[in-house]
Amino acid sequence: MTTSLMHPARPVLLVIEDGTEYVEFARLFVGDTFEIHAARSAREALALLADPGADALLVDLRFDRAPREDLVGDVDATAARLFGGDRARALRHVQDQQGALVLGALREAGFPQRAVFVHDFPPRRLANLRGLYGDVHAVASFDATAIRSALAGARRPA
């Protein structure tokens, strides 16, 4: 039996973003440790987590370049609930928080892999994300050493 039939030679890091900055970064700075896969939406991430799977997630938070139809989150409901019906503000909110909404969709689908955000979350917000989504880490900047550390030991569920 070869390794490739069961798992890739290296653990897989699934990068989820609406641009290319994260995946470029990941290939440069953690590509020696992880095989890098990329998804641009929750739909693509779900497909890649189903096959071939991933050991960890590197997730962008803000998706302001994604097509509206690719976004997770109900803009009308958000407008009504949080912004007094202001749909423009609600769309911005959905874009600004898209990474967390995508992670919610992945958790709902049963994927508990470690998620790392590159974002300076206030401690309470990070605690809230961990309460909602389990194994969540945040690194304040594109600090490769800190991101490596946050990803260390992450493995897909058995």
Residues that bind another protein (CB under 8 A): 19, 21, 24-25, 28-29, 62, 64-65, 88-89, 91-92, 95-96, 118-120, 122, 140-145
* Contact of 142 with 86, CB cutoff 8 Å: no
Closest approach of another protein to the CB of residue 29, in Å: 6
Residue 141 or 149 with smaller CB distance to another protein: 141
Closest approach of another protein to the CB of residue 70, in Å: 15
Residue 7 or 128 with smaller CB distance to another protein: 128
DSSP code for 97: T
Residue 64 or 74 with smaller CB distance to another protein: 64
Residue 52 or 85 with smaller CB distance to another protein: 85
Distances (CA, A) of 4 to 11, 52, 75, 140, 153: 11, 11, 42, 35, 20
What is the sign, positive or negative, of the torsion defined by CA atoms of 137, 21, 55, 95? positive
Distances (CA, A) of 6 to 94, 110, 128, 151: 37, 21, 35, 22
Closest approach of another protein to the CB of residue 6, in Å: 33
* Contact of 137 with 114, CB cutoff 8 Å: yes
Closest approach of another protein to the CB of residue 53, in Å: 27
